[in-house]
Amino acid sequence: MLIFLVFLVVSCAVYWCWVRRRSRYEPPLLPQSWPLIGHAPLRTMDNTRLWELMQLVSHRCLEADGAVTLLLGPQTVYVLTDPEMCTAVANTCLDKSEFYQFGRRWVGDGLVTADVPTWKYHRKLLNPAFSQQVLDGFLGVFNSQARRLVADLEDIEEEFDHWPHLALNGLETICLTSLGMEVNTHEDKRLNKQFFHALEEMFHIIMERVTKVWLYNDRVYSWTRLKKREDKLLEVLHNMSNKILQKRKQELKDNNNILNQIDLLGGKFKPFLDLLLELAEEKSVFTDQEIREHVDTMIVAGHDTSANTLMYTLVLLGSHSKVQENVYQEILEVLGPDRDVEKQDLSRLVYTEAVIKESLRLYPIFPVVTRTLDKDIKLRNYTLFSGNLCFIMVYGLHRHSVWGHDAALFRPERWLDGSLPDSANAFAGFSIGRRGCIGE
């Protein structure tokens, strides 16, 4: 027994030395690392703790000049907050981390979760669907949805949580622009709510898997109640987009492969689904499943991000009355008391845009962007080795000293008074590099 124990300890020590053999070239180790298990005890299953941990690691990384190494058992993770280093990694490695696998049953080979070869091919095909001309077509929907949101909020007199209102409105908007799905009747609203709850719960399940190491293994996961729940939710989520996809496909067939713009909410436009169906017909690309995965990806990636950005922006406006007044005055000046937004107005709402960017700077919706390194990367002082994971710590990057001594303050004026950092990549609210947000 004793021999076995000695053998085990020696084997672990040898393995540890092998894993850490290149450590002198790597960024410094984050303090409080335990032998063999490293920083694994820092792992947490609690979302609030996870947020605090992310803040703590960001600050430690800033103090250590922009790069530290975190050890999660045998896994080495590089954490970066330095703009130059973050840019180098984002531009060199496009492969995301294994955590993204947990979303693949839902959105498959959509852009967020696709492997690099598929991503390269599909991103090129999809870029034109996000042209200015296509987006301008959605203005009618955006105006109507803004009016709906105001009507929804204006009768509430007591203190309330604004998140569910923003999230549901955001989901309706993305369902309109992605699928052309209107939400008018009682039944539409019921289905939309059911879809909304399924979507929120799916996010929750994915986070459960990310934070619970024992659920990483697919076989173990398949025995859990969580997996059975995921199956049910996927049925709801996939059914909705599949139903609309089949309906539009039939219309395309009946109409000589042309889909007319749909006329909804006072404007004519082509939803993302129709653009994909036409592209599929024209260039013989995309199976039905791929189209469904791309549409689902846009719904997932577009609604929660936009709604969260609005949520933080409103909280910040509510906490900074002078900024709120400035936004209000700018809107009055550009739009007057009550007219729809037109495309030429957007470039005149400069202060409002600065407020949204400043909100995204302080509270990025993706506080961490991850990459799996598929090659060694030489940085100023360190080398990051292939096969390891890298966390581009957007939360910390946005508080780096390049933002000035007041980096921690909410100050929208910084976007207008010439005090922005020289490097455009110091802001990563929509990520940085080629794998950044297509919906930016």
Whether 110 and 294 have beta carbons less than 8 Å apart is answered as yes
Our CB check for ligand HEM shows the closer of 64 and 129 to be: 129
Nearest distance, CB of residue 254 and ligand HEM, angstroms: 28
Strand partners, 69: 29, 78
Our CB check for ligand HEM shows the closer of 64 and 167 to be: 167
99 in contact with ligand HEM (CB under 6 A): no
Whether 110 and 296 have beta carbons less than 8 Å apart is answered as yes
Nearest residue to the partner ligand HEM, using Cβ:
439
366 in contact with ligand HEM (CB under 6 A): yes
Our CB check for ligand HEM shows the closer of 301 and 317 to be: 301
141 in contact with ligand HEM (CB under 6 A): no
In this chain, which stretch among 133-141, 281-289, 313-321, 426-434 interacts with ligand HEM, using CB under 6 A? 426-434
Residue-by-residue DSSP string for 332-374:
HHHH-SS----HHHHTT-HHHHHHHHHHHHHS-SSSEEEEE-S
For residue 28 the two structure tokens come to 């410094």
Strand partners, 391: 79, 370
Q: How many residues bind ligand HEM (CB under 6 A)?
A: 22
In this chain, which stretch among 70-78, 214-222, 295-303, 373-381 interacts with ligand HEM, using CB under 6 A? 295-303
Q: Based on the number of CB atoms within 10 Å of its own CB, is 212 exposed (0-12), middle (13-18) or buried (19 or more)?
A: middle
**Scanning the structure block, which residue is given the tokens 């690099």?**
116
For residue 302 the two structure tokens come to 């577009």
CA distance 152 to 148: 6
Our CB check for ligand HEM shows the closer of 76 and 173 to be: 173
CA distance 23 to 8: 23
86 in contact with ligand HEM (CB under 6 A): no
180 in contact with ligand HEM (CB under 6 A): no
Our CB check for ligand HEM shows the closer of 38 and 96 to be: 96
80 in contact with ligand HEM (CB under 6 A): no
Q: 68: Cβ–Cβ under 8 A, 6 or more apart, which residues?
A: 27, 28, 29, 30, 57, 60, 61, 78, 79
306 in contact with ligand HEM (CB under 6 A): yes
108 in contact with ligand HEM (CB under 6 A): no
181 in contact with ligand HEM (CB under 6 A): no
**Euclidean distance between the first and the last CA atom of the chain, given in angstroms as a whole number:** 61
87 in contact with ligand HEM (CB under 6 A): no
Angle at 25 between CA 401 and CA 31, to 5 degrees: 60
302 in contact with ligand HEM (CB under 6 A): yes
Nearest distance, CB of residue 301 and ligand HEM, angstroms: 4
In this chain, which stretch among 149-157, 190-198, 208-216, 365-373 interacts with ligand HEM, using CB under 6 A? 365-373
Among 107, 259, 349, 369, binds ligand HEM (CB under 6 A): 369
429 in contact with ligand HEM (CB under 6 A): yes
365 in contact with ligand HEM (CB under 6 A): yes
Nearest distance, CB of residue 268 and ligand HEM, angstroms: 19
Among 12, 314, 341, 438, binds ligand HEM (CB under 6 A): 438
Our CB check for ligand HEM shows the closer of 38 and 399 to be: 399
173 in contact with ligand HEM (CB under 6 A): no
Q: Based on the number of CB atoms within 10 Å of its own CB, is 132 exposed (0-12), middle (13-18) or buried (19 or more)?
A: exposed
CA distance 300 to 234: 13
Nearest to 321 by CA among 419, 416, 417, 410: 410
297 in contact with ligand HEM (CB under 6 A): yes
Residue 38 DSSP label: B
393 in contact with ligand HEM (CB under 6 A): no
Among 112, 198, 291, 426, binds ligand HEM (CB under 6 A): 112
435 in contact with ligand HEM (CB under 6 A): yes
Taking CA atoms, 160 is separated from 154, 167, 353, in Å, by 12, 14, 26
Which residues sit at the interface with ligand HEM, rule CB under 6 A? 96, 111-112, 123, 297-298, 301-302, 305-306, 309, 360, 365-366, 369, 429-431, 435, 437-439
